[in-house]
Amino acid sequence: MPKIKIPKSSPSIDMTPMVDLAFLLVTFFMLAASFRPSEPVTVETASSISDKVIPENNIMVTLDPDGKVYFNLTNPEARKEALNNMASLYKVSFNEEQIEKFALMSTFGCTMKELPAYIDLPGDSRKEFKTEGIPLDSLDNQLKNWISYSQMAALNTGKTAYEEAKQKGLAPDADDFKPKFIIRADGKSVYKKAEKVIDVFRELNLNNLNFVTSSEFNPNNPN
């Protein structure tokens, strides 16, 4: 019998193209993913069939299971303006550094008195900050002031952004630049507490509210 010559081929496959592709995708997703700053509260929302994505420019009130109220405003410029107005109203002074830090922060839930100390804390220890949330009772309705100043500030920054977009020759929709009002309530929180927050919005004549939900299967539109 003649000897059969087995071609000497290495058992391992050349993985280089696959690795190239994998790293390309990793890089893409890393850059495309937007990292949210750490939030002082984790909220588990209820689910709905809605497929409307959360608007970019928003004013958000968060309600945790204990009924504590947190506030957030997305636009950094508007945050600075709102903070300055709130500072002069409640006679709390902030230095330059604190204002800059506040502009880049996320959700917060403390009184105006506690706010300077809260801002000075390093990012990861803000979670442990002991607070009762933002007060919203009739005697000390800080939430209402936060919302009304933030709305004014966000409208101003939205207007400038709208003018800029117009000058660039785009046809912007003025509605996109107005802040949207969002309530992010934990599924386990009592609705009466959420209703108090809703009433604050309604007192300011802001009646179009959005509830943050996680998505679920829609029986009307199964695809």
| Closest CB 21 distance from other proteins, rounded Å | 9
- Give the residue with the Cβ less far from other proteins, 12 or 167: 12
x/- binding map, residues 149-188, to other proteins, per CB under 8 A? Answer: ---------------------------------x-xxxxx
Q: Interface with other proteins by CB under 8 A: which range of 10-18, 73-81, 100-108, 140-148?
A: 10-18
| Closest CB 94 distance from other proteins, rounded Å | 30
46 binds other proteins (CB under 8 A): yes
Indicate which single residue of 2, 3, 4, 36 sits in contact with other proteins (rule: CB under 8 A).
36
Q: Interface with other proteins by CB under 8 A: which range of 17-25, 80-88, 132-140, 144-152?
A: 17-25
Under 8 Å between Cβ of 45 and 186: yes
Indicate which single residue of 51, 96, 124, 128 sits in contact with other proteins (rule: CB under 8 A).
51
> What span, in angstroms and rounded, lies between the C-alpha atoms of 80 and 6?
74
Question: Dihedral sign, CA of 136, 141, 146, 151?
Answer: positive
32 binds other proteins (CB under 8 A): yes
> What span, in angstroms and rounded, lies between the C-alpha atoms of 131 and 113?
11
Q: What is the dihedral of CA 46, 47, 51, 52, to 10 degrees?
A: -10
Phi and psi at 134, nearest 5°, equal -80, 125
> What span, in angstroms and rounded, lies between the C-alpha atoms of 72 and 178?
16
34 binds other proteins (CB under 8 A): yes
137 CB-near residues (< 8 Å, 6+ apart): none
